[in-house]
Structure 1
Amino acid sequence: MSRIHAALTRRLAADSGFTITEVLVAMMVFAVMSIGLAYGITNALLLTQESRSRQTALNLASQDLDKLRSLANPFEIRSTTGDTEQPFTVGQQDYTLSRTTQWVDSAGRSSSCGTDGTTLAYKSITSTVSWKSGRGKPLSVSLDTLIAPSSRINADGTGAILVTIRNAAGTGAAGVPVTITANPGGGGAAVTAPAVTDGSGCTYALKVQPGTYTVSASTPGGIDSSQQEVAKNQNVSVSAGTDAAVTFTYDQAHTFQVAYGTSYPGGTAKLPTNLTTTLYNGVGGSSFFAGTPTTIKAFPYQDGYQVMAGAYVDADGGGTATCLSPNPGKWTTATNGAIGQAPEAVDAAAGVADPPGKRVTVPMGIVTVPIDSGYPYITAVSDSAAPDFDPGCNAPSPKTLTFSGLAAGNATIALPYGTWSLYETKALGSTASSNSKNLVQTASSKITYPNGGGQTNNAGFLVVKWGDTVTLDPRKVP
């Protein structure tokens, strides 16, 4: 019996199979191998798909260049923009074709639209097809070619006008209409309006008779870097056999809502009838706007503007004529710890109109002066011999501001920062001794600064100098 039991036990042990641990290990090994195999198969499929997509993209780019080579006129070949890029779908894969062009002139120089004083030779074209891979990664291929005109661009006796328009970002401004008119007596002839600018900001007028022309560019809501709604060059000279190049910087205007710092504890100060408002940008310099506009349309410089009351002219603009006093940031001489703070730059995004609630406040100095009933006007004249802490206004001629509609008694007026002679006058703008009197000389004790003060040369205080001028000082203690 014991022998039978022992034999049965040995058979049961032999038939027991794998343990649970061995089964789990085997399953894990199988899973790792399966994952690796699946990844390899998937990766091979994606690589195959990308290779097929790349070949398709190359074929699309090649077809585009073949089509362009069949065109007799290279001027019909234009750089694309977002709305003119061509979509394709091949085998459930979406593609987009874009194109950039550059002219190469007779001197071998290349530029988007051509070069002044030379002759266009041939056009360099790059066709780019882009798509997204199965992994979502953006991919693209590009092909280049050169295309020369089949005949002379200009007849022997004519020239061409090449127009380039750049936006505030420095890239081509597409879709801008351009007009070209012959100047009276300039020897030119009528010119057919060229096509609107392409994706590189280029357009062309060909076979133009020699003479002088005015070239203009404009579009609704547009503005150029000199703050003109119509970009214009009135002295474009065309010679036989060569090209005249014209470049504009033009974009959609930014509209500022403007308010003037005329409030004081007792009310609102009166503004000059002929104030100049300055928008200053480090690249474009000073732009002047007459009067006190509540909205200003300006070129959208990317680093924005400082807004000031008065005609601010920076020394960086060249020459010796400057008027720095309107900019508080130029009052760099500290007195009693006070120093001028430059106006904060305000953003100027292209095509944006600030809502009425977002106003740019133009800081100003405020002073109260006595008014005689027989002298109903005030004339303020800038003083170039300003005190040392005032950066001064050394313009070729003094700045003159006038005030009207003043009642007898006290009048509170707002002026740009700086040093001023104040005259009470019988006639608007007059400073003649026969019908005016210097207020500082005749009534200096009655001139006050309504926001407080009393310390000479300190922040925001009125300063009486040499008995004939007042200084409106913007300096503050940081």
Structure 2
Amino acid sequence: MIKRLSARLRPADPAERDAGLSIIEVVVALLVFAIITTGSIVAVGTVLSMTADNRSREIAANLASQAVDTARSVTDIADIASSTTPVSLNGVDFTVKQSASWITTTGLDSACTPANASSNGSLLYKRLNVTVSWSGMRPSTQAVRSDTVIAPGSKINDPERGTILVTVNGADGAGVAGVTVTIEPDSGTSTPGKTLDASSVPGLTNADGCAVATKVVPGSYKITLSRADGQEYRDPYQSATPVKTGITVVKGDTTGQVFSFAPADDYSMNYVSGYSGTALKPASLETTIKGSNGTYVATSPDDHQYLYPLSSGYQFIAGKYVPAGGSTASCLSPDPSAWPKSADGKTGKAQPYVLTDSPVDVPMGVVTVKLASGQRFIKATTTTAANGDPGCAATMTYTFTLSSAASQATIALPYGTWRLQAASNSTSTLSNITLGSIVGSILGTLFPGTGSNANVVTLDPRTAP
């Protein structure tokens, strides 16, 4: 049979038997070989990828289980918080993402402070969701997920008492850990609560920025934040110890408050910028600080101002600037941009907004005054505006104390019109003093008074365009 098949396939002409394969036959053979090889490579690659993915999935399942076990081992359920943890094993990068939230008797599911002030129910337990993903995951592969609930180790509710949840977020909206939360009865209300029992006092905020006070006697409370580690933190109103009052607690319910409290930006201040000499600054110099979160007045000329972080920065003005049109008397003089254009075309230039990584130049007016024998105390008070000064109806008063007796003193003041007086000390009778050699303001011009106003000087910030 084989002989017959061979005879039929073999060319009849002996010459054709030695001709070999044609080019078409070779190409077809190579194409078939390529298809088979490519399929084999893809199949092997798929098997290897699936094997690696299954191995990574097994590790991810172990990591998820480990995260749940770790959470269950936490002594205080309030310390269980959301987190994202990178883990590298066997050359694969895993991301363990943990989400924790409180569940209440009304079914509320909240990471910390509930959205509503009341009708939230009592705390029951915490829901924990752990999701583990890894590098090189196949598109069709789902991340490993583990969900569980964790009950408190001891009773955290009292039907006759309530709960306070406090959330502390940073400037980026993320929770701030390590903040001390102090809860006290609010004596400013008609129904102040009671001092918290030791077991009810909240611990430091956890990684979610959450602190919990349980078994709180119904009434009104005051909440204060602080840092025990000495780090400089500020809220949007520039308070290092922000306070909220009138927090009402009712029995069988959960209430709370949300704070914004972030590591402060450190601004290095350079008062009397541009002046090469030495000028005394007022001991209680106020500095107006403008930002997108409002206007704040610092009450001392510190070399460093610690402020709530803003991406747009702040504007700094020496003196207490108060805009017109408000409920209180205005004080426009300190702001150079509030001064009208002078007859010779000079204008006041607005201070730029600066960021924390730049030194802050705060220009001021400078004047030298003559002192009588024994005079070491100088008082400067804003007075009737003159020489284009937009005025300061709110009145600013600053004092200077010389360390030793001198015949004259060079002092720095915010822009505006000032009446200058001196005495031997702060309790002695003040007398008018006259200007010494005119130094003038760093920007613009100094206008000395004459006659009965010989002790009056206008520090003008306006300069040529």
Q: Same fold (TM over 0.5)?
A: yes
2:249 paired residue number: 238
Please state if 1:404 is matched with 2:401.
Answer: yes
1:95 paired residue number: 94
Equivalents in 2 of 1:33, 1:329: separation in Å?
A: 81
Q: 1:314 to 1:264 in 2, by over 3 A?
A: same
- How far did 1:207 drift? 0.8
Equivalents in 2 of 1:365, 1:241: separation in Å?
A: 61
Structure 1 stretch displaced more, 151-160 or 25-34: 25-34
2:264 paired residue number: 253
Amino acid of the structure 2 residue aligned with 1:255: D
Equivalents in 2 of 1:307, 1:334: separation in Å?
A: 24
**How large is the RMSD of aligned CA atoms in angstroms?**
4.8
2:11 paired residue number: none
Task: Report percent identity of matched pairs.
Answer: 33
1:280 paired residue number: 290
Could you say what secondary structure the match of 1:258 adopts?
Answer: strand
Counterpart pick for 1:436 among 431, 444, 456 = 431
**Aligned 8 A contact 1:79 1:200 in 2:** yes
Amino acid of the structure 2 residue aligned with 1:344: Y
Q: Which residues in structure 2 correspond to 1:205-220 (within 5 Å)?
A: 205-216=213-224, 217-220=226-229
CA offsets 1:451-472 (integer angstroms, 9 cap, x no match): 68xxxxxx51124579744332
**Aligned 8 A contact 1:117 1:242 in 2:** yes
**Aligned 8 A contact 1:449 1:461 in 2:** no
Equivalents in 2 of 1:142, 1:314: separation in Å?
A: 57
Amino acid of the structure 2 residue aligned with 1:437: N
Q: 1:283 to 1:32 in 2, by over 3 A?
A: farther
1:354 paired residue number: none
- How far did 1:162 drift? 1.2
1:462 paired residue number: 446
Equivalents in 2 of 1:308, 1:187: separation in Å?
A: 44
CA offsets 1:69-100 (integer angstroms, 9 cap, x no match): x8999945722335xx48585x8755332222
- How far did 1:13 drift? 13
**Aligned 8 A contact 2:96 2:130 in 1:** yes
- How far did 1:211 drift? 4.4
Please state if 1:473 is matched with 2:465.
Answer: no
Q: 1:425 to 1:277 in 2, by over 3 A?
A: same
1:199 paired residue number: 207
Task: List runs of 5+ in structure 2 lacking aligned partners.
Answer: 1-13
Amino acid of the structure 2 residue aligned with 1:361: D
Equivalents in 1 of 2:222, 2:203: separation in Å?
A: 17
Corresponding pairs, count: 435
Q: 1:374 to 1:262 in 2, by over 3 A?
A: farther
CA offsets 1:324-371 (integer angstroms, 9 cap, x no match): 4334354475761534132331227xxxxxxxxx74333211123333
Q: Which residues in structure 2 correspond to 1:321-360 (within 5 Å)?
A: 321-331=329-339, 333=341, 336-347=345-356, 359-360=359-360
Counterpart pick for 1:309 among 309, 318, 321 = 318
CA offsets 1:187-233 (integer angstroms, 9 cap, x no match): 33433333332222112111122345554442411423144444444
**Aligned 8 A contact 2:371 2:433 in 1:** no
Amino acid of the structure 1 residue aligned with 2:177: A
**Aligned 8 A contact 1:421 1:438 in 2:** no
Task: List runs of 5+ in structure 1 lacking aligned partners.
Answer: 1-9, 349-357, 453-458
Please state if 1:294 is matched with 2:278.
Answer: no
**Aligned 8 A contact 1:215 1:233 in 2:** yes
- How far did 1:415 drift? 0.8
- How far did 1:437 drift? 2.0
Equivalents in 2 of 1:163, 1:414: separation in Å?
A: 45
Amino acid of the structure 2 residue aligned with 1:309: A
1:380 paired residue number: 380
Equivalents in 1 of 2:297, 2:250: separation in Å?
A: 34
